[in-house]
Structure 1
Amino acid sequence: MEEPLIPVVPMSHTAHIRSHRKPRRSASTIAMRAGVAGGVLSTLAVAGASGAANAAEPVTQTLELPTLTGDVAAQVAQSAAATQQAAANYELQAERDAAASAAAKEAKKDLAEAKQKAEAKKKAEEARRAAAEAAATRSSERTTLSASASASASTGVSAPASGSVGTVIAFLKAQVGDAYVMGATGPNAWDCSSLVQAAFRQVGVDLPRVSQDQSMQGTDIPLSSIQVGDILYWGGKGSAYHVGVYIGNGQYLDAANPSKGVVIQDLSGYPASGAVRVL
């Protein structure tokens, strides 16, 4: 066999100079450098792995964000629901408070009205009793006056008058003899209606001025049931042309006419058309 040819590498022209020769690497140096290189590579591998891990962290956090965000959203929704419920509760409580306040005001108003009605009813009852008592008193006075008038007619002695009806009769009798003047209102001259008006004014009864209106006052009384103090009228009710006052014993007192003046007359001579009672 032929031996392989070994190529001949020409030497550098400086190879014979020692200072220009490249030092040969020993095995230990190569090993050391290999170890160092291995260590560096290991370090780089670790660093690379660490960097990869560090680079992966944001990805991991990003993947977890939806879970965290979902939890926060749930908490926010729960808080909003709680806030809304609290607001609804406050609104409901406010409505209840307003309703209670309105009910209290209404109850207070009803109570005040009930008290007013009770007071009005009480006053009306008192007025009714007073009116009944006054009516009984007037009836008694009329009876007394009628009896006294009858006694006076038989004996010729004037009987004293008392009470409200008596005051009216006493005033009328005090005017007997005064003149009759149409439209006159006293104190020394009268017409029929002004004399009746003035007489009842003595006891606080305010009658209209003219005969027609005076015939519309008070309560209608049948002529068969007239009593002392009743107002007599001649003509139609509401259109009367003359008035006077019954004084008992079939007599009445009036401002008759210009020729008679204020006089006492018998009903039998000039019967009245009707009567009203204001006392």
Structure 2
Amino acid sequence: MSHTAHIRSHRKPRRSASTIAMRAGVAGGVLSTLAVAGASGSANAAEPVTQTLELPTLTADVATQVAQSADATQLAAANYELQAERDAAAANAAKQAKADLAEAKKKAAEAKRKAEEAARKEAAARASRNAERTTLSTTASTSTSTSTSTATGSAAAVIAFAKAQIGKSYVLGASGPNAWDCSGLVQAAFKQVGIDLPRVSQSQSTAGTQVSLSNLQPGDILYWGSAGSAYHVAIYVGDGMFVGAQNPSTGIVEKPLSYDPPTGAVRVL
């Protein structure tokens, strides 16, 4: 035995052929891969790279949410527009109401002014009538026999006819011979002398010349109310007396002027 036989050899152990072949194959594959990679890199360096990005597809839930959001936005816009229209309408209504109120106040003031003016005129007219009636009553109470006894011609005929009807009935619308109303009696009395008077009191109060109650003559027509709108008429017979169809309770009577002072008189004779 050799003197080195017991010493482990320092040489590398032999590799088997299969191991060597496998490593060679791996190396070859790596080199092939590098070669392909290199070729690919060269090709990529020569041509520009185009990259395409694909947007994500909306799912049904996301699409619904987007639609609902759009509807909500549109509804909010519509609400804002409607509110703006309402505010504008309210402003216009307030402006119109203010104008209407001012106009109403103006009309009310004008109506009040007219009413006050009419009241003043009526008071003045009433005072004038009262004064004239007072004068008439005084004249009637102090007058002497300058009426019936001195009435001649047509006036005497008119008065005679009127007095002949005293005691007969008053019937509204009657024209004799057994009943009369006020204007029917006056019309019939003047018809005796050929004077054709209107049928109603209103027209008879303007049928002749207006005369003062302080200057009456027998045969004058007395009226109550305003000229042209009188509601009663009678005949002045002198001595401060008149004959007329007064009302259903009295019938045709002869009364002093103070019994029911007239408003005015007209002369047709």
TM-score range relative to shorter protein: 0.3 to 0.5
Q: When the two structures are superposed, what TM-score results if normalisation uses the length of structure 2? A: 0.45
Greater RCO, CA 8 A, separation 6+: 2
